[in-house]
Amino acid sequence: MLKIIRTADYAAMSRQAANIISAQVIQKPDCVLGLATGSSPIGTYQQLIDWYNKGDVDFSQVRTVNLDEYLALPRENDQSYYYFMHDNFFDHVNLPEGATNLPNGMAEDMAAECARYDALIESLGGVDLQLLGLGHDGHIGFNKPCGEFPKGPHVVDLAEETIEANKRFFASKDDVPRQAVTMGIGTIMAARKVVLVVSGADKAEIVKKAFFGPVTPQVPASILQMHPDVTVVADEAALSAL
Ligand code: F6R
């Protein structure tokens, strides 16, 4: 079932999403959280950090698995998702060392790495709550529009526009990652609960397509219409095309 929570703005969206996540952690202190990077969840992480600092939420038994990572980009690079997660969340709460997981985009054998990540998620007992953002073309994780929904973790080639857009963060275009590793749609759909945060008028058309249009791999997020427990937390601007 798909539930939409409408909020006034980004701050309220972030508070609502953080509320759902902290409720999950309170109900099941050793839960597995699936996490995302990007601009959409930053406020959610800030709110969770704030509540952690106030003593209202405890991450000491939580385990996390992130959606995706660039290939061939060392962890220390401030554009890596490893860096992002530590900078925006992990380093500010009491998640134990070793409780946080991201796919390793530096692995020599990426097929083995995808199999390892899949087995890791399975060994943790699956994801209790998966946090997602929504790309302008309907992508979730790095699952781009394509001919069929990919199942497990896999490597994707980045679109030329993405490489072009990311160029500004790197010394030269040659340093920009050309590939990424992502959880598949199957892994995301297997999460027991999904929370998708989306904000801004520039996402309004894709929100309409993804959640009110046909289910198609051309709009990867549309598959979430088939998930039993999805909450879309969206600000008014993101819902303005409905
Ligand atoms: C991030 C991710 C991406 C983003 C999406 C939206 O781990 O998997 O799918 O969620 O690109 O990005 P923002 O939130 O920056 O608009």
CA of 140 to the centre of ligand 1 (A): 7
pLDDT given for residue 213 in this prediction: 98
All domains of the chain in start order, with CATH: 2-239 (3.40.50.1360)
| pTM exceeds 0.85 for this model | yes
Mean pLDDT value of segment 9-24: 98
Pairing of strands 63-66, 100-101: parallel
39 CB near ligand 1 (under 6 Å)? yes
CB 192 within 8 A of CB 127: yes
User: Residue 37: pLDDT above 90?
Assistant: yes
DSSP strand E in the chain: where?
Answer: 2-7, 32-35, 63-66, 68-70, 100-101, 129-132, 154-157, 179-182, 193-198, 230-235
176 CB near ligand 1 (under 6 Å)? no
DSSP strand E in 36-188: where?
Answer: 63-66, 68-70, 100-101, 129-132, 154-157, 179-182
DSSP strand E in 37-104: where?
Answer: 63-66, 68-70, 100-101
CA of 28 to the centre of ligand 1 (A): 26
pLDDT given for residue 171 in this prediction: 86
Identify which of 14, 35, 37, 131 to mutate to test ligand 1's pocket (most ligand atoms within 8 A of the CB). 37
CB 195 within 8 A of CB 4: no
* Alpha-carbon gap, residue 205 to 188, rounded angstroms: 23
The two structure tokens encoding residue 236: 């008014």
User: How many Cβ atoms are within 10 Å of 22's Cβ, its own excluded?
Assistant: 18
What pLDDT digit, counting tens, does each position of 164-223 carry? 888 888 888 888 999 999 999 999 999 999 999 999 999 999 999 999 999 999 999 999
pLDDT given for residue 173 in this prediction: 85
**Backbone phi, psi, residue 232, to 5°:** -95, 120
* Alpha-carbon gap, residue 151 to 222, rounded angstroms: 15
CB 21 within 8 A of CB 231: no
What pLDDT digit, counting tens, does each position of 108-156 carry? 999 999 999 999 999 999 999 999 999 999 999 999 999 999 999 999 9
